[in-house]
Amino acid sequence: MLQLFGSGLVSLWLDKAGVKVATVDPLEVLALQSSPSLVLAPDRSPVAAITVQNYLKSLQMGVAESQGVWIQSGPVLLANHQGTVPIPAASLTKIATSIAALSTWGANYQFDTTISTNGTISKGVLQGDLIVQGNGDPLFVWEEAIALGNAIQSMGINRVQGNLIITGTFAMNYNFNPVKSGELLKQAFNAANWSNTIENQYLSLPPSTPRPQIVISGTVQQSQLINPKQILLVRHRSLLLSQILKEMNVYSNNEMAEMLAYLLGGAQVVRQKAATAANVPLAEIQLVNGSGLGVENRISPRAACAMLMSIQKRLSPYQLTVADLFPVSGRDRRGTLLTRQIPLNTVIKTGTLNDVSALAGVMPTRDRGLVWFAIINRGSAIGQFRDEQDRLLQNLLKQLQVAPIVPAALTPRQDNNHPLGAARRNEIMYKG
């Protein structure tokens, strides 16, 4: 690492980022060389550190050890308070779930849900069962079910004489009970039985979208067995994993996070994958689930930043950025950003429990380029914590100046216009 720093590569990086720093003492570099978060040198300017000190004083509650802050720009550490201590991080846990999913499946991965039968089709009637094989799609909702019903009906199936059989891992509307999910699917397949909620979701689809009218005579049943003689009718593909993660993080959806963690092998697998991908000590990521529910989920602010930076790197081959996986202030006016006063174009992930308020992300600046940050507060004054977090970022931006343009590294690339219920993701497999 000393060779890297002495070679001038880091200085070149800082120059291109518009950062001017004095010569660094090699002993300081040696002291930091074990850092896993790409930090090679402390910032010579005290601006960020002073801003954080003022922020901690402004809280006027709790002990300092209950608050954690880590702020860095590339290899330069701007501010650190309890930054390497794992603290209850609430939904910052979803950053770990996101990077574990991304490193396992890749950004373009899609979950398959297949529809098969053990019967035959004659004069609009399926004489047999309709069999749903789920493979863990965490975002199979009303719009997806309506589009799937239309695909089945386009094959000439208007009535199912048998049962609706659910196999595999199938959840609809974030309901992990396969039979209840099957009941919801059965309802979605027949517009005559739609509720007002389904009608409202249908209105979000393109105006020409048909209303499926498939009557299923039998009941909804769960089965662990797959008949090798069943005939594949339709293959439904989920949204891309990158789009699924974006929806999960925008709304901080706990059920989606839990489904992904289950598919990955559980919280401990998520923990290991996240720590490995971000190159942080395993001790700085302590998880009991994939959503962040419960104070047993503890993440250090440094680890939160390192995971976000690793996600950015892993998205690069797909021509995507962290803005494609997490909400962006001023752009995503929904979900957890609705009441926040976070500087524009900042990519963030929030986290909240009864006594935890957390915020992590990356903010574009003129003087330090991309500034990665994680702020975790412990205490009951959640509203004040949020206000002070927002104010900290605003004050930091005043010191580092607003970036003249939104950098490409924080510009979303994927199109999210009407992603749910797209007919093109249903492939007719049975040709009659």
Question: Are 197 and 313 in a shared domain?
Answer: no
As a whole number of angstroms, the distance between CA 269 and CA 261 comes to 8
Could you report the per-residue pLDDT of 358-405, keeping only the tens digit for each?
999 999 999 999 999 999 999 988 999 999 999 999 999 999 999 999
Q: How confident is residue 417, by pLDDT bands cut at 50, 70 and 90?
A: low
CB 82 within 8 A of CB 67: yes
302: CATH: 3.40.710.10
Q: Note whether 315 and 99 are within 8 A (CB).
A: no
Does residue 248 share a domain with residue 234?
no
CATH number for 136: 3.50.80.20
Both 247 and 319 in a single domain?
A: yes
408 lies in a domain?
Answer: no
Under DSSP, the state recorded for 306 is: H
Structure-model confidence comparison of residues 45 and 429, the more confident one: 429
Q: Strand pairing of 112-117 and 67-73?
A: unpaired
Give pTM, 2 decimals: 0.89
The answer to the question of residue 413 being in a domain is: no
Tell me if 142 is assigned to some domain: yes
Residues 387 and 255 in one domain: yes
Which DSSP letter does residue 175 get?
Answer: B
Q: Report the domain count for the chain.
A: 2
**410/50 Cα distance (integer angstroms):** 26
Distance CA 96, CA 171 (A): 22
* 44 and 68 together in one domain: yes
Claim to verify: residue 118 and residue 217 sit in the same structural domain: yes
Is residue 380 in some structural domain?
yes
Tens-digit pLDDT profile for residues 232-254:
999 999 999 999 999 999 999 99
pLDDT class for 337, splitting at 50, 70, 90? confident
Do 145 and 96 sit in the same domain of this protein?
Answer: no
pLDDT tens string 173-213: 999 999 999 999 999 999 999 999 999 999 999 999 999 99
pLDDT value of residue 228: 73
Give, as one character, the DSSP assignment of residue 25. Answer: P
Please give the structure tokens belonging to residue 370.
């991309």
In terms of residue numbers, what domain contains 252?
A: 2-107+243-401
Say if residue 234 is in the same domain as residue 125. yes
Q: Is residue 412 part of a domain?
A: no
Helices (H), 351-426: 382-400
Closest-CA residue to 93 (of 355, 390, 358, 346): 358
**pLDDT tens digits for range 62-92:** 566 689 999 999 889 999 999 999 999 999 9
- The span from the CA of 95 to the CA of 350, in Å, is 10
Listed in sequence order, the residues at least 6 apart from 82 whose beta carbon sits closer than 8 Å to its beta carbon are 64, 65, 67, 68, 69, 301
One domain for residues 268 and 221 = no
20 pLDDT exceeds 50? no
